[in-house]
Amino acid sequence: MPHDHALHAPETASPRGPVDPADFAHIPGWGVDRDRADRPAVPMERMPPRLDVATRMPPQQPQTVEILHSTERPGITPVFGTTVPPSGVSGGLRRIAFKFSENDVRRWMLLLVADRVHMVEGLVADVGHGHVPNLYAEMGGRAELRHNPAGAARKAATLALVAGVAWWWWRGRSRD
Amino acid sequence: MLAMEYRGPYRVRPNPHKPDPEIEHPHDAIVQVTRSCICGSDLHLYHGLVPDTRVGSTFGHEFIGRVVETGSAVQNLRTGDAVLVPFNVFCGACYFCQRELYSNCHNTNPEATAVGGIYGYSHTTGGYDGGQAQYVRVPMADVGPIKIPPELDHDDAVLLTDALPTGYQAAEMGDIEPGDTVVVFGAGPVGIFAAKSAWLMGAGRVIVVDHVEYRLDFVRRYAQCEVVNFREVDDMAIHLKKMTDWLGADVCIDAVGCEAEGSLLQRLTGVRLKLQAGAATVLHWAINSARKGGRISIVGVYGPTFNLVPIGNALNKGLTLRMNQASVRRHLPRLIEHIQAGHLRPRDIITHRVPLEEVADAYHLFSSKLDHCIKTVLIPPGIAH
């Protein structure tokens, strides 16, 4: 086995001596925030907050849609987002998920399942509204074709191969 | 209005019929977006990894714009003000905001207590629509946004909403001493800014690790640092120890998060099977590559469950682990000073400007790292590039 002389390097001697700012003159601003007083998030917790407005607890936002809230708090927050309230089967799954605490992995796994169900519901809703989604465009197919034509060709060939095999298999079964 | 709309993993589209946002709270403002960015962490949503990402949501937590309407209680902003909006939705008054932990605000996210409110980042962070749209609702408009100083370039301003403060805070949490060796995992926008910020704090060496060659080339030039392509390395911990006289790095920064490449086991369990909250490859490397008594700073995003990390090694080495989402607002005055002094020029990382109508192509371009993409800016219709 070859002997690795690098292993004889001193284990405890620090190679890091004092720094000479002249060595870093080519780097704009080197060391300007060496002093922790110049670092805006030091210390991590700093009171009072440096905001240019007097802060007081915000009033409660009126609730106009269903908002699910974590069981690790007593109710909804004074301010919240209202986009895409829970609905359909995915909404039901989300309501079940929110019965578990954030400390419970079932909550998060149920939410991931709900997300996938919601995707299917989205496809069904699209078709129900007379809109067949252009999956090629939604997945950025034009960018792939423009910037990675070889990859786009590979994907098209793979898709054609899978479709061909499926068609051949289906035809075989139809004859039986 | 026109808005980006999520339809499922790897599927987004422009929706020209999304209803305009409305004032829902007396402290709200409505902002007309003039620029928004796609962030690396948007890709976790795009790839379907963040629980409670609902179909029909609009992403986008990096945006600037112009105030077009204010709620009855808003005092600091007026119609027409150009504003930079930090990605955190925060109240300024709760226990955590009073300590300047704005990213941990307790009053803006009913859906989860472990994370504060964030624009356009699933219902796990409050269910707010984001800024990849023509208009956006901005809650707590007196405490979050700041007016953009007239001398600040708007391309610099949009990068002050997340990417630059997050990179800076990553370096800050590393508690860098003059002469320290700092290893940054990830050469995306946040990693690039973490490397630049490490120099501001007096680092003696900065080493950036990634596997995307064009990004390593960029960061080598832009941040004047050393680079390592992990695809060319057998074992990351041994490699970094050889580079650091067998001691290990003083500071390791995770600027990658849950979709890290580099470990089949981590990718399989964290990304494909979702048995853990993302691939913790970088955490593993960081803990095993830091010197004893070193510091680990984490700004890469992970899911809410659990990850495979060598916590025993962190204990035995006496490491300090620090992490948080950036509290953007507290960093803005200092970072604007750095931009004005010429220490930082964030807009140089912008590689693509894409009309909002082509948002699906923009996501694919960024996600697949095509056309040497580093940072994409989305421009809503009617806004000059």
A71-109 pLDDT, tens per residue?
A: 999 999 999 999 999 999 999 999 999 999 999 999 999
In whole angstroms, what is the distance from residue B153 CA to residue B191 CA? 22
Kindly write down the DSSP assignment for every residue of A123-166, as one continuous string: HHHHHHTT----HHHHTTHHHHHHH-HHHHHHHHHHHHHHHHHH
In whole angstroms, what is the distance from residue B259 CA to residue B267 CA? 7
Kindly write down the DSSP assignment for every residue of B132-189, as one continuous string: SBSEEEESSTTTS-EEPPTTS-HHHHHHTTTHHHHHHHHHHHTTPPTT-EEEEE--SH
For the segment B267-277, the average pLDDT, to the nearest whole number, is 93
Q: Which of A105, A110, A61 is nearest to A86 (CA)?
A: A110
The pLDDT score that the predictor gives to residue A95 is 98
Judging contacts by C-beta atoms under 8 Å, the chain A residues touching residue B370 are 143-144, 147-148
For the segment A125-153, the average pLDDT, to the nearest whole number, is 94
Q: Which of A50, A114, A147 sits opposite B330 (nearest CB)?
A: A50
The pLDDT score that the predictor gives to residue A12 is 40
Distances (CA, A) of B41 to A110, A144, A156: 22, 21, 29
Q: Which of B211, B242, B208 is nearest to B227 (CA)?
A: B208
The pLDDT score that the predictor gives to residue A174 is 73
Q: Residue A169 corresponds to which tokens in the numbers above?
A: 């298999």
For the segment B350-361, the average pLDDT, to the nearest whole number, is 98
Confidence category of residue A13, pLDDT binned at 50, 70, 90: very low
For the segment B188-193, the average pLDDT, to the nearest whole number, is 98
Q: Is the pLDDT of residue A3 over 70?
A: no
Is B273 an interface residue toward A (CB < 8 Å)?
Answer: no
Q: Is the dihedral of CA A22, A23, A27, A32 positive or negative?
A: negative
In whole angstroms, what is the distance from residue B32 CA to residue B39 CA? 19
Helix-helix angle A105-128:A88-97, to 10 degrees: 170
Q: Is the pLDDT of residue A7 over 80?
A: no
Going by C-beta distance under 8 Å and a sequence separation of 6 or more, which residues neighbour residue B363?
A: A140, B12, B38, B42, B43, B46
Confidence category of residue B6, pLDDT binned at 50, 70, 90: very high
In whole angstroms, what is the distance from residue A62 CA to residue A52 CA? 27
Is B5 an interface residue toward A (CB < 8 Å)?
Answer: no
In whole angstroms, what is the distance from residue B35 CA to residue B168 CA? 22
Q: Is the pLDDT of residue A133 over 70?
A: yes
Judging contacts by C-beta atoms under 8 Å, the chain B residues touching residue A55 are 91-93, 97-98, 143
For the segment B325-346, the average pLDDT, to the nearest whole number, is 97
The pLDDT score that the predictor gives to residue A19 is 86
Q: Is the pLDDT of residue A15 over 70?
A: no
For the segment B305-309, the average pLDDT, to the nearest whole number, is 93
Residue A48 C-alpha, separation from nearest chain B C-alpha, in angstroms: 6
In whole angstroms, what is the distance from residue B327 CA to residue A27 CA? 26
Chain segment A39-76, per-residue pLDDT in tens: 999 999 999 999 988 788 999 999 999 999 999 999 99
For the segment B243-272, the average pLDDT, to the nearest whole number, is 96
Q: Which of B381, B375, B384 is nearest to B42 (CA)?
A: B375
Residue A157 C-alpha, separation from nearest chain B C-alpha, in angstroms: 19
Question: C-alpha dihedral over B107, B109, B330, B301, to 10 degrees?
Answer: 150
Could you tell me what percent of chain A has a pLDDT over 70?
A: 89
Q: Which stretches of chain B are assigned E, i.e. beta strand?
A: 3-8, 11-15, 29-38, 63-70, 82-85, 88-89, 117-118, 135-138, 146-147, 181-185, 205-210, 226-229, 249-254, 290-298, 320-323, 350-355, 375-379
* Residue keyed to tokens 């501001």: B200
Q: Residue A2 corresponds to which tokens in the numbers above?
A: 């070859």
Q: Output the CA angle A110-A113-A115, nearest 5 degrees.
A: 110
Judging contacts by C-beta atoms under 8 Å, the chain A residues touching residue B111 are 67-70, 98
Could you tell me what percent of chain B has a pLDDT over 90?
A: 99
Chain segment B129-179, per-residue pLDDT in tens: 999 999 999 999 999 999 999 999 999 999 999 999 999 999 999 999 999
Q: Cis before residue B26, ω within 30 degrees of 0?
A: no
How far is the first Cα of chain A from the last one, in angstroms, to the nearest whole number? Answer: 64
Average pLDDT, chain A: 90
Q: Is the pLDDT of residue B36 over 60?
A: yes
Going by C-beta distance under 8 Å and a sequence separation of 6 or more, which residues neighbour residue B80?
A: B66, B67
Average pLDDT, chain B: 97
For the segment B112-123, the average pLDDT, to the nearest whole number, is 97
Confidence category of residue A4, pLDDT binned at 50, 70, 90: low
Q: Residue A75 corresponds to which tokens in the numbers above?
A: 């109710």
